[in-house]
Amino acid sequence: MTALLTLDGVSRRFGGLKAVDDVSFDVNESEIVGLIGPNGSGKTTLINLITGVHPATAGHVHFDGHDITRQRPYRIARLGLARTFQIVQPFPRMTVVENVAAGALFCGHASDVREAQAIAREHLEFTGLADMADRPAATLTLARRKRLELAKSLAMRPRLLMLDEVNAGLNPTEIEEAVAIIRKIAEQGVTIIVIEHLMKVVLSISHRLVVLHHGQLIAQGTPRKVVADKRVIEAYLGAKYAAGNPGVSN
């Protein structure tokens, strides 16, 4: 297995606050990695560092042999790195199909707007949004907007897809549907990083978990091993709770 994405000592400060502190890990080709951690642990900041939204204050990020540490976001996107946002960010006054077409058009997979729209419709089919194609994006329900984010990212034909809380705010049925779509994407060979606070979802789809707490990487490994890790339980439930529950190992 070869590493598609490599983080090497990546840090980011905001004023005095170390939002991400010396984080290193690899993501291999065709892997699904769950990035977890309690509220405010720096997960979204880390994604922002990888995608070039914020420049890292230290460390290096390599993607598919390219050093992308200080690249502009649009260049990183064109290399095949796509993401969705925790707070969905559609182009609200464009139609659903236009939103997805934008992804296809600007990453260079379509030569003109018309071709991009054709590609977009395929992805809408895949994500089950075909019926909504010509409606303004702003009129979709949250669950569908989340799927629109997915379709938009897929239209960029990413090699690595980062999903930031795609299930937040969804009901159980919607979550099941979303998970099914994520699995289908993975089957096509796309490498995936999921940020997710629903532990059941992460456990069921990830090959490997990476845990952040206070901006630091505190554990990584197989899902089973990680969730039983004392430091992880401490991070989620507090030290006293972890200490008072001897069933927890390590």
Partner 1 sequence: MSTTPTLSVMSLQAGYGEVRVLWDVSLEVAAGELVCIIGSNGAGKTTLMRCLSGLLQPSAGSIVIDGRPMAQATPADFVRAGLAHVPEGRRLFSAMSIRDNLLMGAYLRTDKVGIVADLERIYAMFPILAERQRQDAGTLSGGEQQMCAIGRGLMAAPRVLLIDELSLGLAPRAVELLSETLRKVNATGVAILLVEQDVMNALELANRAYVIDHGRVTKSGPAMGLASDPAICEAYMGLSKAELQ
Partner 2 sequence: MRSWLALAVIAALVAALPLAGNNYALRLATTVCMYSVMAQSWNFIGGFAGYPSFATAAFFGLGAYASAILQNHGVPMVPAWAGAGLAALLFAAFLGGAILHLRGHYFAIASLIVVEMLREIVNTLPDFTGGGKGVNLPLLKLSVTGQAQFFFYAMLALAVLTVATTIVIHRSKLGFGLRCIQQNESAADIIGINTYAYKTAGFSLSAVFVGVAGAIYASWVNYIDPPDVFDVLISVKPMVMVLLGGLGTIFGPSIGAVILLLLEEAVWRNFLTIHVAALGAIIVVLVLFLPNGLLALIRERSPTKAMAK
- Provide φ and ψ at 62, rounded to 5°: -115, 140
**Shortest Cβ 76–partner 2 spacing (Å):** 8
Residue 133 · residue 124 · CB < 8 Å: yes
Using the structure block, give the residue that is written with the tokens 């080709």. 29
For residue 232, give the nearest of 218, 214, 215 by alpha carbon.
Answer: 218
Cα separation of 127 and 13, whole Å? Answer: 37
- One residue of 152, 159, 208, 213 binding partner 2 per CB under 8 A: 152
Residue 240 contacts partner 1 per CB under 8 A: yes
Q: Which stretch binds partner 1 (CB under 8 A): 6-14, 60-68, 116-124, 200-208?
A: 200-208
Residue 55 contacts partner 2 per CB under 8 A: no
Residue 25 contacts partner 2 per CB under 8 A: no
Residue 85 contacts partner 1 per CB under 8 A: no
- One residue of 9, 40, 55, 92 binding partner 2 per CB under 8 A: 92
Residue 113 contacts partner 2 per CB under 8 A: yes
Q: Is 140 exposed, middle or buried (0-12, 13-18, 19+ CB in 10 A)?
A: buried
Q: How far is CA 79 from CA 72, 153, 154, 157, in A?
A: 11, 13, 14, 10
Residue 215 · residue 41 · CB < 8 Å: yes
103-142 residues near partner 1, rule: CB under 8 A: 141-142
- One residue of 94, 199, 205, 218 binding partner 1 per CB under 8 A: 199
- One residue of 27, 49, 59, 85 binding partner 2 per CB under 8 A: 85
For residue 166, give the nearest of 184, 187, 188, 150 by alpha carbon.
Answer: 150
For residue 133, give the nearest of 151, 146, 157 by alpha carbon.
Answer: 151
180: partner contacted, choices partner 2, partner 1, none (Cβ within 5-8 A by kind): none
Residues engaged in binding partner 2 (CB under 8 A) = 51, 53, 72-74, 77-78, 82-83, 85, 89-94, 98, 101-103, 105-108, 112-113, 152, 156
Residues engaged in binding partner 1 (CB under 8 A) = 38-40, 141-142, 168-169, 197-201, 203, 214, 227-228, 233, 236-241, 244-245, 247-249
